[in-house]
Amino acid sequence: MTRSSPPSQSSPAQDSPPLQSPPEAAFERTPVTSTRSLRQLSVFWLGSACILATTAITRKAVWRRQLRTKPSFYAPNTNPHEFFSPMSDALQALNLATMNCFSVGLMLVGGTMWTLDIANLKEARSILRGRLNYDSIYRSADDAPNGLGETLLRAGETRIVEEDGDGHDTKPR
């Protein structure tokens, strides 16, 4: 059995459209191995390391408290020899809770920075102002207050003046 090849036709060249390049992606993400991405992820990993550390510290504090309250085998339990200070226990609990919350917050900030591709506070501010249309509220970047202090100063400089029916200024409030 031999295969026969299809007959070759010598027809004139057909007009075919030129090869098109693939469409360009609308948004390209920063590679994970870039220095920018690694800096953002380092905040996340620092937060997760802090969570591990504070969890270990909290477990050890709870374990110590349980050992302290358990009496010895031959000791009477009617008069425990433990020094009990509610203020000390409350301060220790507050300290541990603060460390745990700070660790979780640090991890959330790092993860959010990496997810939204924000490297610093200046970028975050420009993105937020762009979304809130600050350009239409403040005509130039110099008019926009940079912090709470400037906002309060500008609010203190503003005075409301009441006008009576004749158009005369009566008194500022």
Q: Would you state the pLDDT for residue 50?
A: 94
For residue 172, pLDDT beyond 60: no
Q: Please say whether the beta carbons of 114 and 32 come within 8 A.
A: no
Q: Please say whether the beta carbons of 47 and 103 come within 8 A.
A: yes
For residue 103, pLDDT beyond 60: yes
User: Between these two residues, 19 and 91, which has the higher pLDDT value?
Assistant: 91
Range scoring the smallest mean pLDDT among 42-46, 94-98, 141-145, 148-152: 141-145
Q: Would you state the pLDDT for residue 94?
A: 95
For residue 142, pLDDT beyond 80: no
Environment class of residue 109 by beta-carbon count within 10 Å: exposed (0-12), middle (13-18) or buried (19+)? Answer: middle
Tell me which residue of 122, 113, 138, 106 sits closest to 30, measured CA to CA.
113
Q: Would you state the pLDDT for residue 143?
A: 66
For residue 101, pLDDT beyond 90: yes
Q: Would you state the pLDDT for residue 51?
A: 95
148 Cα distance to chain centroid: 20
Q: Would you state the pLDDT for residue 6?
A: 60
Range scoring the smallest mean pLDDT among 67-76, 77-86, 89-98, 103-112: 77-86
Q: Would you state the pLDDT for residue 36?
A: 80
Reported confidence tier of residue 13, pLDDT bands at 50, 70, 90:
low
Mean pLDDT of the chain: 76
Domain boundaries, the chain: 35-162
Reported confidence tier of residue 98, pLDDT bands at 50, 70, 90:
very high
Distances 100 to 47, 48, 59, 88, 107 between C-alpha atoms, Å: 10, 11, 12, 18, 11
Contacts (Cβ under 8 Å, ≥6 apart) of 94: none
What are the pLDDT digits (tens) for 25-83?
A: 555 666 777 888 888 888 899 999 999 999 999 999 999 888 877 777 777 767 666 66
